[in-house]
Amino acid sequence: MSMRYPAGFIRPGYDPLKNPDAPTIGTATGGDASASVAFTAPSDTGGSAVSAYYAVSNPGGITASGATSPVSVTGLTNGTPYTFTVWALNTYGPGPYSAASGSVTPAQLQRGIFAGGSSNAGDYFSSISYIDISTLGNGSSFGNLTVTQSQGGGFASSTRAVFAGGTGTGGVRTNVIDYVTIASVGNATDFGDLLSGTGGIGGGSSSGTRGLLFGGFVSGFINVIQYVTIATTGNAVDFGDLDQTKSNTATVASPTLALYAGGYAGDPGNLFSYIGQVTIATTGNATSFGNLTVPAFTFTGCSNNTRGVFAGSGSGGDVTNVIQYVTLASAGNSVDFGDLTALRGNLTSVSSPTRAVFSYGQVGGTVLNSLDYVTIASTGNSASFGSLNYAAKAQLSASNCHGGLA
């Protein structure tokens, strides 16, 4: 590679003995459309101190600078392999390039977030935990919601997760909508309000722009669908109506279609197997998609952009270990996918283009913090993923790489 002076650099009289030596290249680590390039500074900095280090990508020649190692290079293309070289600059000019780094391929951050929840003792939580969906392992602390919430709705764009409604401390229904920036850990910020304080929301299905919440319980069961524009804080707006008044449905989405399934309306025997659908971009009432293999409520749904997966709960108030799926492009009944590792109720879940991860709410009277996963494209039983950093049931959940994103 030829050496280039940075913009605005005025070259003094050339003396190669006064230019810095090449840095020693280290490891390049991929991020979301970015890479962190580590190196060791040269022992011989020439005739003056090094003022900056420059990392250059191959391909593309994308360049970034920094005062020390590592240098963060942004504007890369996810899925493209890159190598990097580094050179140093002092007042006498640029030094030679380092050797090339090993190849690294930037990839989208695949973060799943679980928020709030409750215990069987009547405790409600504001904790937020996150996982890297692409890597098996335990959850880490993210921050806290502005209020305690359980049995609410969660959905996300590629950058922002939104958590809405549910039941808080003392069993009070809340109308609070919170949001977090997915790539940056920290406490949630107020987003706006629901149409009313609503528990047992079925949510949330989302495209990259709009998040939907289905039904729930206020002073009685409701059939309202409400939505928000994820990038713009503000109150929820009426979208249309469900087929029936109900709460505790499970939801999945493609980039254009949102589905809600199952639900509950008043007593353990009054459960639903109905699957309804709406077009996310167009307000209006739901229409029929098909039916679950068994009626269910307090269960969970997640998806890639072609297949929606539902798991747990059951009929007659009994929990099950059933996993079932639908093909999002083709209306019809769900099909058996496999089994969870045990009977589970009050689950929540997150998903990536390849993997669904289930947070195991409870087994009988025991509330859990364990996580299981399945590969969405391949039917089969779930396997252990890890554990969250706190135990809760009926959490709110969202991910930045789910099926509603193209």
What CATH code is carried by the domain that includes residue 74?
2.60.40.10
Mean pLDDT by 10 residues, the chain (406 residues): 48 71 97 95 95 98 98 96 97 95 94 94 94 96 96 93 92 94 96 89 80 91 94 96 92 94 77 94 97 89 95 69 95 96 87 94 83 96 95 94 83
- pLDDT at residue 297, as a whole number: 85
Residues 217 and 268 in one domain: yes
Residues 29 and 117 in one domain: no
Residues 124 and 82 in one domain: no
- pLDDT at residue 342, as a whole number: 81
Residues 39 and 139 in one domain: no
Residues with Cβ < 8 Å from 61, sequence gap 6 or more? Answer: none
- pLDDT at residue 364, as a whole number: 73
Could you give the number of structural domains in the chain? Answer: 2
Residue 11 falls inside a structural domain: no
Residue 406 falls inside a structural domain: no
Can you tell me which residue has the tokens 């991929």?
Answer: 30
Residues with Cβ < 8 Å from 122, sequence gap 6 or more? Answer: 171
- pLDDT at residue 354, as a whole number: 95
Residues 246 and 394 in one domain: yes
**End position of a domain, from candidates 68, 94, 120:** 94
pTM over cut 0.85: no
Which structure tokens are listed for 137?
């392992």
For 200-257, the DSSP string reads: S-EEEEE-SSEEEEEEEESSSEEEEEEEEETTS----EEEEE-SS--B--EEEE-SSE
- pLDDT at residue 4, as a whole number: 55
- pLDDT at residue 75, as a whole number: 96
**Domain of residue 167, CATH code:** 2.120.10.80
The amino acid present at 258, given as its one-letter code, is A
The range of the structural domain enclosing residue 260 comes to 111-399
